[in-house]
Chains A and B, each alone.
Chain A
Amino acid sequence: MPTETVLGVFAHVDTTVRALEELRAHGYHDLTVYTPLPVHEIEELLERDRPVSRVRLFTLIGGLTGIASAFLLTIWSSLVWGLVTGGKYLQLEPGGIAGSSLPPFFIIAFELMVLFGGLATVIGMVVLGRLPRFRPSSTFDPRFTNDRFGVAVHCAPERGASVRELLRAAGAEEVNVR
């Protein structure tokens, strides 16, 4: 199905928000909004249609992996060759595992939880945000990292005219078709 992309460029936050509200009211949900900074009002509007970012799942899995690998490393290496430190030990003996000196390993577990959790978070951000992008997307304009806000609407070609009219009425500085 052919689609048309209409881009509205806005100079103000309130006009951008108005345009987004209008678009929602008219049933346009396939939008891309460009902002030079995260804007609370715009995020709130868009979050209504979208689930919470899944980055937190990456963080959780990374953190748990960190904890698990730290305990695995420390406990397993103690069992391979038991070291008695200040009377504290955890080692393999003929009857099974002897000693219960685990508390120091929590420090390693904490550090690896933060390390793996943090790295997984960034990986999540990169993967979910579709980075890196090697070519700018067709609707991007360099002004969007400076002081302009952009609303790109992807719609059926026959509705293009009404979208353009809607964006202009909401207060867009310029409206064009990409």
Chain B
Amino acid sequence: MSDSRTTTPTFADVNRDVLRTLNPPGNLYFAWMCVVALGLAGFFFAWAGQVWWGMGMAGKRVPQMWAMYITTFVFWIGIGHAGTLISAILYLFRARWRTSIYRAAEAMTIFAVMTAGLFPLIHAGRMWFAYFLLPYPNQRSLWPNFRSPLVWDVFAISTYLSISTVFFIVGLVPDIAALRDASTGWRRRIFAMLALGWEGSDSQWRHYRRAYGLLASLATPLVLSVHSVVSWDFAMALVPGWHSTLFAPFFVDGAIFSGFAMVLVLVLPMRHFFGLHAYIQEKHLDAMGKLILVTGLVLTYFYLCEIFTSLYSGEHIEKASLFWKVTQTYAWALWTMYFCNCIAPLVLFWRKARTSPVALYVVSILVLIGMWFERFNIIVPSLGHDFYPYTWGIYYPSPTDTAIVLGSFAFFLLLFLGFIKLMPSLSIVEVKETIPPPMRDGSHAH
């Protein structure tokens, strides 16, 4: 701890440092926003084109109607797992290292689920009929089929988005109150409104703490259920390569794996540009690196299980599907996935790599690529090579769906970059909980 940047901050330092992150941004920020705007323009042009000229603009054809849109949908839902995992499960386990990253991770979760939520609408085509998803009867009083995993999915994702958002807002209230008391003018008026008049009195804290614990307990099974339900979209179907009881834990693990990678991709630059080294220390990076390593190893085990189940099934169609995936048209995607998800994270066995921002960044990017390809490999080759040769097919992406998939990253980054300049991206209250409280009869007097 010889570095002055890592000496223990005081409570007042925390307020000042967090407030500092809300200063007007520099040129680099605006340069990034320009890139984001370009990506977003491509996204909306492509989407408008698809609405105007029809779904043929997207490359998806029978049999791979799910293709890139649902791949990207599952990818973003998966990214959205780390935030609530950090804020709920690690909260209940009292993992103290979560405090400095949880706010950014929670924001990431909400924005990722919002991005994911666009894809069923884009995919289904006529998004102005999105209200068809709501559970209400049609003119002949026929209700949705509540035995369909797609209906479960609607419930799971809307619940996840609502509860994550609520959890996020509850956590923000005391922090916004701190910002209110440290700012002036119109900012103060806006923060005062958003803080709901929070004062930090004992009765407020009492109900707040209880509510927070209960929300965490409710969100914990929710985190695990969301991606299980998403996995049942696949596992309930008879498609070879999908119809497996392995899918729920497999998806949940993959989601946590990719979610943590995305947390690192966002938090490492934040730490660098905001100078948050005193709060996001090496031990935090180390902990996240370990989690990526563990979930990566579990994922590798699941991949092996998947292959074993196919080979051992005695089903020649399962075996044929596996053989086709591993050796034929989409083999490059499968091997990319194996490299990125199984081999690359092994670097994190070394402590040096776990504490090196560059190494972590590279591994995280590879993991994100690998996890996108995992969903691609589940959807596209499986649908492209099922029971009968006359239903086989090869999928080629078109400029429209490529632009929409790439543009979704811009959509996500726009929300995130906006957030970190408008709201405290580091939890003032929770960071204070981890530093030693000021004591007069102790070593931490000030």
Contacts and interface: CB of A to CB of B under 8 A. Distances in A.
Given A38-B208, A124-B211, A108 B143 contact: no
Contacts of A1: none
A25 interface: no
Contacts of A37: 11, 174, 200, 429-430, 432-433
B146 A104 contact: yes
Contacts of A43: 202, 205-206, 209
A34 B199 contact: yes
Interface bin, chain B: 35 or more
A145 B178 CA distance: 5
A64 interface: no
A63 B163 CA distance: 13
Contacts of A50: 206
Interface stretch (B64-72, B308-316, B437-445): B437-445
B207 A128 contact: yes
Contacts of A134: 197
A85 B148 CA distance: 8
A149 B198 CA distance: 15
Interface residues of A, number: 71
Interface in A1-51: 11-15, 31-39, 42-43, 46-47, 50
Contact of B202 (A33, A86, A101, A142): A33
Given A33-B202, A133-B196, A121 B211 contact: yes
A101 B147 contact: yes
A107 B229 contact: yes
Nearest to B437: A13
A10 B12 CA distance: 14
A145 B177 contact: yes
A105 B204 contact: no
B338 interface: no
A122 B170 contact: yes
B11 A36 contact: yes
Contact of A133 (B142, B166, B199): B199
Interface in B172-213: 173-174, 177-178, 180-182, 196-211
A77 B137 contact: yes
Interface in A129-178: 129-137, 140, 142-147, 171
Contacts, number: 209
A11 B440 contact: yes
B440 A129 contact: no
A52 B229 CA distance: 35
Nearest to B193: A132
Given A59-B218, A118-B219, A146 B143 contact: no
A36 B429 contact: yes
Interface in B9-42: 10-12, 15
A97 interface: no
Contacts of B446: 11
A73 B135 CA distance: 9
Nearest to A14: B439
A35 B200 contact: yes
B324 interface: no
A118 B200 contact: no
Contact of A34 (B145, B163, B200, B430): B200
Given A85-B148, A112-B159, A133-B196, A32 B181 contact: no
Contacts of A135: 197
A81 B141 contact: yes
B159 A114 contact: yes
Contacts of B174: 37, 145
A55 B211 contact: yes
Contact of A115 (B163, B197, B199, B221): B163
B215 interface: yes
Given A80-B137, A146-B11, 14 more contacts: A12-B445, A14-B441, A32-B201, A33-B201, A34-B199, A37-B432, A50-B206, A53-B209, A63-B218, A80-B143, A114-B163, A117-B214, A118-B167, A131-B204
22 contacts: A32-B201, A33-B201, A36-B178, A37-B430, A37-B433, A43-B209, A81-B142, A81-B143, A85-B147, A110-B225, A114-B221, A115-B162, A117-B214, A118-B215, A125-B170, A125-B211, A131-B196, A131-B204, A136-B199, A145-B180, A145-B199, A146-B182
